[in-house]
């Protein structure tokens, strides 16, 4: 799948999860939500497979890992991610950091995620992921983001667009 197709799939799964949230809870809605979790796990796996070659896939995979632990799964559709896929994303991140091939967006995202330090605690064994970008100098979010482009980036884009501190580019 392409990144565009993955973003479309994410949006579809998110919409389904929100629709289920607004329905009366039943055995059927629980079963449907579990199916969404499985499909989202597969989406994350695909991002992890692409993460060594595509920084956008890395950003999305990393976001999903962070979001899975910081927001309720019944609102995101994200639960029970594959541990080896999570490790692949962190390994790809470690390689990008070690090779000094990060970009400004990845740096501010990492700094933002680091405020929930417990989320990535189990990945501390990856040397480059010792939050070496996390400092006062890099702690601020950008003043503006391209909200139209963010709309094309799955739940990660939805999340960043939901924050009110950004103006539009």
Q: Each residue of 146-159: pLDDT tens digit?
A: 999 999 999 999 99
Only one residue has tokens 């499909």, namely 39
Q: Provide the whole-model pTM.
A: 0.91
pLDDT at 168 over 80: no
Q: Each residue of 83-122: pLDDT tens digit?
A: 999 999 999 999 998 898 999 999 999 888 888 878 877 7
Reference 62, options 129, 17, 1; nearest CA is 129
Q: So where are the chain's domains?
A: 3-168
Q: Residue 126 in contact with residue 140, Cβ under 8 Å? A: no
Beta bridge partners of 168: 145
Q: Each residue of 20-44: pLDDT tens digit?
A: 999 998 999 999 999 999 999 999 9
């Amino acid at each position: 799948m392409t990144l565009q197709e993955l973003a479309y799939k994410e949006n579809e799964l998110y919409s389904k999860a929100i629709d289920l949230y607004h329905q009366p809870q039943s055995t059927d809605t629980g079963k449907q939500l579990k199916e969404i979790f499985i499909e989202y796990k597969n989406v994350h796996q695909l991002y992890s497979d692409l993460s060594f070659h595509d920084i956008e896939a890395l950003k999305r995979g990393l976001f999903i890992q962070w979001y899975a632990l910081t927001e309720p799964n019944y609102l995101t559709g994200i639960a029970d991610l594959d541990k080896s896929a999570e490790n692949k994303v962190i390994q790809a991140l470690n390689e990008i950091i070690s090779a000094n091939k990060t970009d400004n967006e990845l740096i501010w995202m990492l700094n933002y995620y680091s405020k929930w330090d417990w989320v990535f605690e189990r990945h501390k064994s990856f040397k480059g992921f010792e939050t070496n970008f996390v400092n006062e100098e890099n702690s601020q979010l950008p003043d503006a983001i391209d909200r139209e482009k963010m709309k094309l980036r799955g739940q990660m884009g939805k999340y960043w667009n939901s924050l009110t501190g950004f103006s539009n580019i």
